[in-house]
Structures are given as structure tokens and as C-alpha cells.
Structure 1
Amino acid sequence: MKTSEFYFDLPEELIAQEPLKDRSSSRLLVADKNTESISHRHFRDIKEYLKAGDCLVINDTRVLPARLHGERVGTGAHIEVLLLVRKSIDTWEVLVRPGKKARPGDKISFGDGRLTAEVLETIEGGNRIIKFYYEGVFENILDELGEMPLPPYITHKLEDKERYQTVYAKHDGSAAAPTAGLHFTPELLKEIEEMGVKIAHVTLHVGLGTFRPVKAEDILDHEMHSEYYVVEEDQAAIMNEARKNGGRIIAVGTTSTRTLESVTDENGVVHAGSGWTKIFIYPGYTFKAVDCMITNFHLPESTLIMLVSALMGKDFIMRVYEEAVKERYRFFSFGDACLFLTK
């Protein structure tokens, strides 16, 4: 299957640069696989498509303000550091720009010395391993000095850091938000629970690889990025009970979907656990856990549009996206949402 089969023309002005003030006022495109029908609603209307016994699965990862601006000690040269993977308490794998100014042994100062770092080594791919030095709590210092690592297609500066977090964000570790969840408000989640819908949490720390384009002509030649997940025993039990009783598993976002499909066996049983997943879902894949999905609109030729094509069928998805462009939906992280129904 060729990458070019997942291309669609997207006008640049449809890429949402800023979030809406009211999270749940985003538009909602509802696509039904069985009838191949498309409806246009608002996100707060999501309740009309849920029913008692269903299980909504959300990703409770929290985005780190992982972009730091510092200067090389001794020269004052500007250096930008982006935290990627925590290796130990104070040691991180990072992306450094410009890389030539960050050689092993070099020291970097952030916030007038509030936080300092030493470059330990250069690793495969050009990333660096650095160790931080500070007084106090690292997360507090990072919150003070760091910026949100917004996707490359968002050029506007984000005024409120919390607007790039879901209202249920809990566990620090992501380099990007699980954006399908940005549409939920505490009030809407409470209303959904009061309907008898169960809400289960998983954690998948989203890496920057989620924005990496598929450059291979044949999608099977693409190597997926690896992301860390956690599924707790009690949350797996909630999902298994819902499935046992005939409820649907509705994943909020591609991150929740990838997590569930990584921990569910061939009998549809979700297993608790933690680890790294590189699961690549594309047309032809048989879903083991997920029945329906809430998600945003994705990049052309991306692994994410391949994932939703696997769930809904490629031809139907391409028609959905054509309709979304025609109806001027807002795309990507701060954009509008889709509800994909298979049952």
C-alpha cells in the first residue's frame, strides 16, 4: 500500500492556530461506518451518541513544558533544548539546536543559572544525553522556565499553557498533547458519567515521533516511533467488564487506541501492564479492543490517517476528509473533532 494513497489537499488556512475559549464548542463530524453517513454537530452533542454501559477510554498523560531556551556557558551562544525521554531522575535524552554548540562536556545555563545542564554524550540520530543540576523540584523549575512544545504547524504563541493539556491530565511525560481529549470539559465528563457511561484511564506518553512524516513510498517500510504506556489493573477491569456486558469501547484519540490495541489479546481481553509500544495500525488490521473512536483531523500521508482508515475503511475516510475540507472544519491539534462509529 502506497503512502500517496493517503494524500489529500489541505488549505493552510484550515490549520487551527489557536484553541477555542470553550473547549466543547468545537465542531464534531460524526461518521457511521455501517451506513457510510456523515453528520455535522458540535462536540457537546457527543452525549447523544453514547449510551449506558459504554466505556470511554481517555489518555491521562500530561505534557511537559519541554522546550527550554538557554545559553552555552563561556560563550553565551543561544541553545534550544527539547526534552524527549527521561533516562533517570536528572538525565534526559534531548534534541538540541544548534547541535554544533552542544558537544560532550559543554555546559548550558537556563534562567540565569536557575537550571544548568552538562552534555554527557551524543547518541545515534544526533540527539544528546544531558544531566541537569538545580536546587528544588525539577518539575517546578521546568514549569517556570519551559515552554510547551507545540507542533511545527502551529506558529502562534500559546498564552495559557493549560490549554494544551486535557482537563484530566495527570502523569507528566508527553512531548505532545493527546489532542482528541482537549474538547472535554469537567462538566461534560460529569454528564457523560451520569448517563451510565464508564470512564477508564490509560497512560501513553506521546513522543515527537507522532509528527514524523511517512517518507517511505511503501507504508510497510516506515519504522514507527516507540512510546511508553501504562494500563492499571483497575482500569483494565473497567474496560473488560464493559465489554463483557455488551458495552462499546470508545477510545478518545489515536494514543488511547494504540495503547489498547497493544495490551488486548485475541479474545478482546485488556491486560494491565506497562512497556513500550511501536504498534503500527494501517488498513487490513483487525481491531481487538476499540469499537469507536473520538479523534481530531490528521495530517495527509501520516500514520494517524492510516490508523483511522484501518478502523473505518480507506475510501470512506478519504471521503470524510474531503467533506471536512469542503465544510471548512478546523484541522490538527487545536482543531475540530470526529466521532467514528462502527457499531
Structure 2
Amino acid sequence: MSPRVLPLLALLAAIACEDSTPKVSAKDHAEGLYIKGTAEYLQGQFEASLKSFEAMKQLAPQDPRLPAARGEVYLSMGRLNEAAAEFEAALVLDPKRSTNWSRLGFIQAQLGKVSEAQSSLRKAIGLFPNDFNALEALGELHLKKGEHTEAVRHFTLASNAASGEAKSALLMRALDVLSQQGRHAEVLALAQKGVSEGTRSAEVLTALGDALVHAGKLPEAAAAYQDAAGLAPRDPTLWELVGEIHMRLDKPGEAISAYQESLKVKDRAVVHVALARVHLAMNNRAAAEDELTAALASVSGKDTRELRDLAGLLSDLDRKPDALRILASLSAEEDYVKDAELQLTTARLARELKDTSVQQAACARATAADAGVKKCP
């Protein structure tokens, strides 16, 4: 082979290798940067994400996704003015994308631009009536303005448009507003409607139970709380509520069962006290004494209700000196010195047991806490 042929063959081989290597177009490169920036954003790497989107901008400056993506990053970083500017730029490129209007409206609301926010959010809903984020944001704006009925309407619409956990959370926003306004009949109607239509979260069922109690429908309330307890197996208070209702319905057996279910979730003194009272009502003093022992063993000492209930049970079981020791200690704590009811309870028991020093101290705190207390035991 001629010496001149070898270099030629090598050159041809090199050219062949170069031709076989795929070349990445600017469009594909930009797409890769968009995917990279999005992944970095989702991982919380905000600065890296912005750099990737900036590199993408050099290749595809008119891509309508780009400013919206940067806006999301700035929003997550709390840089609201920059986020707003990006979404405004996104709307220039894609004015019919409802999410852009929705995000801009949300940001404007955070910046206190109420009228602008309402306008943006309504445009979002006009383009996509089931934009539950925009509906929720409008509800929040109405709530801040004291327009409670409109707030409830928008939270309800948002719930109807949402799914999963968001559906329940948005319905709860509406229920909470109504509850805070004392509109219990409307709470009941809305909660019943939500449950009947499939929104059966523990929170909604608990709200339904509360509304049924307000309406005096105790058997139905017990059923709602029991359903809620089935969906919130770590919450002992729901079974406790079921037990309390059964006691009010004079169903001690069912009350005992409910309280025992509560204790399976968490051993708490207040439930042992409640069980003791059930046994006392059934003239079973021995069982009540056993529950008192269990209550004393499980008392945390941090819950004022727990200590008050325990003191009351001790009094009922003829252990009043022990009850007074609990009340005297509790009533002297800084957090409770202004609790006039606690001070009066302590003073009454101290007078009965002829403990003058505790009685006088509790009376002094009671009168200092409440000017309406004219006469102390």
C-alpha cells in the first residue's frame, strides 16, 4: 500500500466517526435544560434551577413555559415581586393559560393588591372554571374583607372542583368560616351535603358530629364521631366524644365500650375518670376505684382539664384532702392564677376542709381575676 494511502484512510475514518455522532439541536438542548431546571426546582435547588432556565433562555427566549417556570421558582423563594414580573411576562406569551392568571392573582393577593388580584383570579376562572386554586384564593380575599358568605361560596366551589385531600381541606375552610360565625344550621347542611357526596374525611365527619350536637341530634352525632374515629385511628378524643354522648343518652354499656376504644389508642387519665363516673352511676364503686388508680398512674400533670377532672373524682370518692392538694397546687400556678372559676372551686373545697390559708389565697386570686366576684367562699 502506498505511503500516501495510509493518511488518507485515517482521515476518512475520522470523518466517518464524526458523521456518525448525533448532533443535538438547539431546540432539543433547550428542552433538556427545561427538564433539568424543573427537576432542580422540585428538589428545592432553586438557584441551580434559575441557572438552568437562564441557559434555556439563551436558546429559546420565546418559549412560553420559561417565564412561568421561573415565576414558580421565585414564588417558592419568597421573591414575590420577581415572581409577579415573570408571570406577567408569561401572560404576554400565553394570555389564555389560566394557571398564569391564577398564580399572578395569588401573588398579587400576597402583595396586598386586592383589586388586581381579584381581577386576575376571575380571569383564571373565566378560562378554567374548575381552577380550585383560584377559587380558594378568591375565597381568602373575600374573607379578609369580611365577606363571609362569599368566602364560604368560593371555598365550597373550590372544594367541588378539587379532589383528594384538597377537596376535604377546602370544604373544611368553608365549614370553619360558618362555625366561627355561629351559623351552625348552615354548617350542618353543608357538612351533610359534603359527606353524602363522598367527602368523608375524619375532619369533615368531626365537623358534622359537632353540628349534630348543636342541633341536639345526639345519636346521629355519635355515629358521625364513630365514623371519624375509624378514619383517624390515632385520635383518642373521637372515641371519647362517642362515650360522652352515650352517657348523655343513658347508655352506660355503650359508653364503656367507647371509652375503652379510646384507651386502646392512648392511655389518658381523663378517660379513666370518665369510666370511673360511669361505674359510679352504675353503683359499682370497686370498678370506679380501679379506674381512679389507673387515672393516677397515667396522669401527665400538664393538662388542667385532666387535673380538674381527677380532683373532682377524688372528691366524689371521699378523698377530698387529695383533691384539695391538686387544686391548691394548680390554682397557684402562674398560668391559672387568673382562672376565676378554678380559684372559686379551690376556695369552696378549702372552706369545706377548713384550710383557711388555701381558702384566702384562692379567694384573693379569684377577686383579682374577676371584678364580678363579689363574694368568695
Normalising TM by the smaller chain, what interval? under 0.3
- Structure ID, larger Rg: 2
TM-score for both structures, normalised by structure 2: 0.25
- Relative contact order, CA 8 A, sep 6+: which one is greater? 1
- In proportion to residue count, which structure has more helix? 2
TM-score for both structures, normalised by structure 1: 0.27
